[in-house]
Amino acid sequence: MAWEVLRAVDERGAYANLLLPSMLAGSGLSARDRGFVTELAYGALRAQGTLDGMLDTATSRPVAGIDPPVRDALRLGAYQLLRTRVPARAAVATTVDLVRATSGERPVRFANAVLRRVAARVSETGGDLAQLLDAPAFDTDPIGHLAVVCTHPRWIVEAVAEALGGDFDQTRAALVADDVRPSTHLVARPGRIGRDDLLAECAEAGLDAQPGPWSPYAVRLDGGDPGRLPAVAGGAAAVQDEGSQLVALALAATPTVGADLGLTVDLCAGPGGKAALLAGLLAGGPDGAGLLALEPRMTRAALVARSLAGVPGAWVA
């Protein structure tokens, strides 16, 4: 299932955070297995650059040239070897089985050899990325070193370092924090459900939840499946990072330059999370306030329309 998520992201630009919950909802998997699928899929996507770097050290064939279905299977195997407690032997064996099931017998020996080399390298280095990926020395190239060991593209490391005044200790701490597995945040969409009611739903469903500290509409989950909540299933609430909520709140609170005609235009609305929050905020404003959500791609526009369904004064184009 995790492999199918990676393939959908690669082949058609699917949103993993929208696809995976829908797949899990009809899977019949136990809570433990659902958690493992989630860790594999999201983890492999977050660490893709690092995983490809590891695979590059184990094969003479460029990773970009590996058949994509095989490459995604290898990424899942490498992720298990680097970031999970799955025994190396099991990670290699299950990945080889996955390659055989999805790509046939021909690439099996190649996949087995590559992952065995990766497993040996992880064991030899203790999973130290500086050694695994031959990172530049910190003294001579601090940006390049942090890009490797903190698993971020170089340009992001440069931007963070610049924002922090060139303090590389703070830069390292910020990058490490950015790579921590994220918790699940929910948004109680204004006009559809209040945050207290959403918290009550969480308690009734047996989910540990707390109010978000920054957005008045945010709820943070300590674990569990938000798809079990009636409010999420019905669209009154949704999974949305609290930082994304703050973007919409900041925009809604920004004074208009010139005459305010009551219309807010979202120029890049897909997949619709921030647009739905904006629409709810505008609905509580002056009469005639509305939202026009623009999205040129049909598939993304359909997601926006689903998020805005039933909201008065909201249109998708």
The span from the CA of 238 to the CA of 261, in Å, is 29
The span from the CA of 88 to the CA of 117, in Å, is 11
Domain endpoint, select from 151, 178, 205 = 178
Residues 308, 272: contact at Cβ < 8 Å? yes
Do residues 85 and 66 share a domain? yes
The span from the CA of 83 to the CA of 127, in Å, is 9
Do residues 62 and 81 share a domain? yes
Global confidence as pTM: 0.76
Per the structure, the count of domains in the chain is 4
Distances (CA, A) of 220 to 120, 123, 216: 39, 36, 12
Residues 131, 155: contact at Cβ < 8 Å? no
Do residues 113 and 173 share a domain? no
Do residues 9 and 89 share a domain? yes
Tell me the β-bridge partners of 292. 265, 315
Do residues 193 and 83 share a domain? no
Q: What is the DSSP string of 252-282?
A: HTSPPSS---SEEEESS-TT-HHHHHHHHHH
Residue 201 sits in which domain range?
184-246
- CATH classification of the domain holding 47: 1.10.940.10
Helix (H) / strand (E) element for 228: namely none
- CATH classification of the domain holding 232: 3.30.70.1170
Quote the pLDDT of residue 285: 58
pLDDT 10s digit of each residue in the chain, 317 long?
A: 999 999 999 999 888 988 888 898 888 888 889 889 999 999 999 899 899 999 999 998 899 999 999 999 999 999 999 999 999 999 999 999 999 999 999 999 999 999 999 999 999 999 999 999 999 999 999 999 999 999 899 999 999 999 999 999 999 999 999 988 778 899 999 989 999 999 999 999 988 999 999 999 999 998 777 888 999 988 899 999 999 999 999 988 888 788 877 888 999 898 899 999 999 888 755 565 789 999 998 888 998 998 898 888 899 99
CA nearest neighbour of 147 among 157, 161, 159 = 157
CA nearest neighbour of 127 among 95, 91, 160 = 91
The span from the CA of 267 to the CA of 224, in Å, is 34
Backbone angles phi, psi at 221, to 5 degrees: -100, 140
Do residues 38 and 113 share a domain? yes
Quote the pLDDT of residue 288: 59
Do residues 122 and 9 share a domain? yes
The span from the CA of 159 to the CA of 178, in Å, is 14
Domain endpoint, select from 65, 98, 129 = 129
Do residues 121 and 10 share a domain? yes
Helix (H) / strand (E) element for 135: namely none
